[in-house]
Amino acid sequence: MATSRPSPRLIRAAPALSGAALLLALAMLLAVSVGAFALTPSEVFRGLAERGDPVTARIVHDLRLPRVLVGALVGANLAIAGALLQGVTRNPLGDPHILGFSAGAGLFAVIAIDVLPAAPTAIVTPAAFVGSLVSAAVVYALAWRGGITPVRFALAGVAVAALFTALSTAVLATSDRFTQSVLSFLAGGLYGSGWDEVGHIWPYTLVAGVAAILMADTLNVLALGDDVARSLGMRVERVRLALAVIAALLTGSAVAVAGLLAFVGLMVPHVARLAVGGDYRAVVPLSALLGALLLVLADTVARTVIAPVEIPVGIVTAVLGAPALLLLIRTRT
Amino acid sequence: MTAVFELQGVSARLGARIGGHLAIRDCSLALHRGEITAILGPNGSGKSTLLRLLAGSLRPTSGEVRFEGHRLDALSPRAVARRVAYLPQSPIAPPDLTVAELAWRGRYPHRRWLAGIAEADRRAVGAAMTLAEVDDLAGRALGTLSGGERQRAWVALALAQEPDVLLLDEPTTFLDIGHQADLLRLLARLNRDRGLTVVMVLHDLSQAAHAADRIIGLRDGVVAFDGPPVEVLTAEGVSALFGTRVRVMQDPESGRPVVLPALDGHRGLDTPVE
């Protein structure tokens, strides 16, 4: 009987989840292999174990591996944040970039880097998290009129994102920073990511990712609407706040290391939903894996397509994301 | 009879917008255990608002709503949700959710965080789906159902909560007469066998007269009449409530009133068609 198992979806999602995990592992191996200095898989594994040729070991260990890890973590963060925000706002346009979470994070990160040059780099990620929360609060306040409607939420987000991004650009335009890192920040890029960046983002991914998975069943109930969720005993406002904080942790840390990366949070949860249906217990972990997969592959393209020059990965995700979004609009409505 | 819900001087406005007009004005009433109450009234008279106040979806702007003697807003929502189920008028139905998954959501207030599935959950969901007659639809996605089937799926969710009080906002509106009768029979049976208290907003006056022990008529957010169907559903009372002329007859079998609109210039059956 169908009622004897409450989560057939999860069991049905198992192949998708393990498939995505396998693809991610392969993509990471590929990403570490390719570059100005092509490596075979066995060289990669020897480099990881820090055996064999010391130059290869340096390339694998100090350059490519941390960059691939940062890409995977950033992709996972943005995709989970997108899934949460689509659930909270019940809006397919729920996305950290569109709702202004990224722009606030970016502005605070830019201020922390450029206006307070004496501050330690470790302050950038917490600053971005705070900025993300601030913009979320501003968007919420602007959209609030005795309740939140999904459309007003998205419109307020677009407005706040435009303003905060303009302010970030203004600060960057007047700074004397290296052009490529400015471009990499504005378009979203992993230029120069190393172990420091891995250290800045992984605690956020771990804590907020686990929290997101624990909240997934709550999101399932929230999907039935505020009235039904409330009548099922949920403290809706409190849950929304908790989910917004989790999304801000994920977005803030992603923006702190990769800048204003669009489309990942918007696109990936929709793909996950097409694969496993609407149950957030499956959508959240699958989004994390697919987001990581997308960004690892996109960054490999970004590094190699016109090597030795690299383009910001955000340009690759936008080139992939824009047609994907149009396809989504045509098939879903 | 003991009061399940009590409203004392309750006023409320929709959407909590400051300056908006009051949808419920200075309303005081008590709803009793084991009663089936129907709320009637013209469009915009505050019927749904009254139900949302009882469900705790809306806070009164003044006065207080009490559940079993305690202020509703001071009780844990989860504890209340184990006792009171509420079905809004057109709830949001994620189209790819299956009927069984929807029914399982009704166990949310009973389940403890991170705890596994208890046998009680399984039993409650199974029983709810059987009562709502959705066993055959268990694996179907909500987006593929007819309006009537979807309504029954939502009833399964409400019953899976194992409530003693059921609040329903126009539960029969999208159903054909057969499924309307099925739902009203189900409510009558749960009321008789388990003492389920039912409060529902209905549009069909004769249906309300037939299904309810008590009728509350609302107009402009104020209780216009309140009592057993035979006493309050008079031609004068109903005509005044809706601002239109009606005729009231008696069902020869149950003795309950039957309400028909009096259509002016209406051709009698014996008038020949030209």
In order, the DSSP letters of A84-121 are: HHHHHHT-TT--TTTTTHHHHHHHHHHIIIII-TTS-G
Q: Give the number of A-B residue pairs with CB atoms closer than 8 Å.
A: 101
Give B-chain residues touching A144 at CB under 8 angstroms: none
Q: Give B8→chain A minimum CA distance, Å.
A: 21
What total number of domains does chain A contain? 1
- For residue B266, what pLDDT is reported? 59
Residue A1 belongs to some domain of the structure = no
B-chain residues within 8 Å CB-CB of A234? Answer: 77-78, 108
Residue range B197-225: mean pLDDT, rounded = 93
pLDDT the model gives residue A211 = 95
**Contacts with A6 from chain B: Cβ below 8 Å:** 101, 104, 107, 117, 121-122, 125
Instruction: Note whether residue A116 is domain-resident.
Output: yes
Residue to substitute from B57, B83, B102, B201, interface A, most A β-carbons within 10 A: B57
Confidence category of residue A4, pLDDT binned at 50, 70, 90: very low
Residue B269 is predicted with a pLDDT of: 61
What residues of A are in contact with residue B122 (Cβ under 8 Å)?
3-4, 6
Question: Could you report the predicted ipTM of this complex, rounded to two decimals?
Answer: 0.87
Quick one: pLDDT at residue A316?
92
Q: β-strands B36-40, B214-219: how paired?
A: parallel
Where does the pLDDT of residue A17 fall: very low under 50, low under 70, confident under 90, or very high at 90 and above? Answer: very high
- The CA distances from residue A27 to A205, A289, A294, in Å, are 20, 11, 9
Residue from the list B78, B88, B98 with its beta carbon closest to the beta carbon of A227:
B88
Position A290 in a domain:
yes
What single letter denotes the amino acid at residue A35? G
Test A231 with B15 for CB contact under 8 angstroms: no
- pLDDT at position A193 over 90: no
The most confident of A67-81, A225-239, A257-271, B234-248, by mean pLDDT = A67-81
Domain holding A290, by residue range, is: 8-332
Record: contact B98-A145, CB cut-off 8 A: no
At B95, the pLDDT band (50, 70, 90 cuts) reads confident
Q: Per-residue pLDDT tens for A245-267? A: 999 999 999 998 988 888 899 88
Confidence of residue A66 (pLDDT cuts 50, 70, 90): very high
Name the residue in chain A with its Cα closest to that of B52.
A227
**Burial class (CB within 10 angstroms; exposed 0-12, middle 13-18, buried 19+) of A272:** buried
Q: How far apart are CA B44 and CA B13, in angstroms?
A: 12
Q: Is residue A101 included in any domain, yes or no?
A: yes
Q: What pLDDT does A44 receive?
A: 84
Q: Is residue A235 part of a domain?
A: yes
pLDDT grade for A2, boundaries at 50, 70 and 90 = very low
Angle at which helix B147-160 crosses helix B119-131, to 10 degrees, equals 150
Cβ count within 10 A of residue B16? 13
How do residues B33-75 score in pLDDT, each as one tens digit? 999 999 999 988 899 999 999 998 888 989 999 999 899 989 9
Helix (H) or strand (E) holding B258: strand B257-261
Q: State the residue for tokens 């350059």.
A: A63
| Lowest mean per-residue pLDDT among A161-165, A181-185, B78-82 | A181-185
What's the token pair of residue A62?
């100090």
| Chain segment B103-147, per-residue pLDDT in tens | 999 999 988 766 666 788 899 999 999 999 899 999 898 989 988
Q: Report percent pLDDT > 90 for chain B.
A: 55
Pick the more confident residue, B5 or B147: B5
As a whole number, the mean pLDDT across chain B is 88
pLDDT the model gives residue A233: 92
Write the CB contacts of B19 (distance below 8 Å, at least 6 apart in sequence): none
The angle that helices A195-214 and A280-304 make with each other, rounded to 10 degrees, is: 160
Average pLDDT over residues B172-199: 91
**One-letter amino acid of A173:** A
Question: Which of the given ranges, A269-283, A286-300, B254-268, has the highest pLDDT on average?
Answer: A286-300
Higher pLDDT, A333 or A91: A91
* Residue A332: pLDDT band with limits 50, 70, 90: low
Residue A130: closest CA among A204, A75, A206 = A204
Confidence of residue A62 (pLDDT cuts 50, 70, 90): confident
DSSP for residue A60:
I
- Does residue A6 contact residue B117 with C-beta atoms inside 8 Å? yes
Of A217, A234, A277, the CB nearest to B77: A234
8 A C-beta contact, residue B142 and residue B98: yes
Quickly state the pLDDT bin for A5 (edges 50, 70, 90): very low
Of B81, B88, B102, the CB nearest to A233: B81
Is the pLDDT reported for residue A76 higher than 90? yes
Contact at CB, A230 and B100, closer than 8 angstroms = no
Cβ contact B100–A223 (<8 Å): no
Instruction: Encode pLDDT of A209-220 as tens digits.
Output: 999 999 998 999
Predicted confidence at residue B115, as pLDDT, reads 62
Contacts of B129 in chain A (CB under 8 A): 3
Give the pLDDT score at B18.
54
User: What CATH number has the domain bearing residue A35?
Assistant: 1.10.3470.10
Q: Return the pLDDT at B128.
A: 94
In this structure, is residue A3 part of a structural domain? no
Average pLDDT over residues B83-94: 89
Confidence of residue B19 (pLDDT cuts 50, 70, 90): low
Q: How does residue B273 score in pLDDT terms, banded at 50, 70 and 90?
A: low
For tokens 């697919």, the residue is A290
In a domain, A253, yes or no: yes
Q: Chain A: residue nearest B129 by CA?
A: A3
* Per-residue pLDDT, B89: 87
Supply the pLDDT for residue B102: 93
pLDDT on residue A259: 87
Residue A275 has a pLDDT of 85
Inside any domain, residue A229: yes
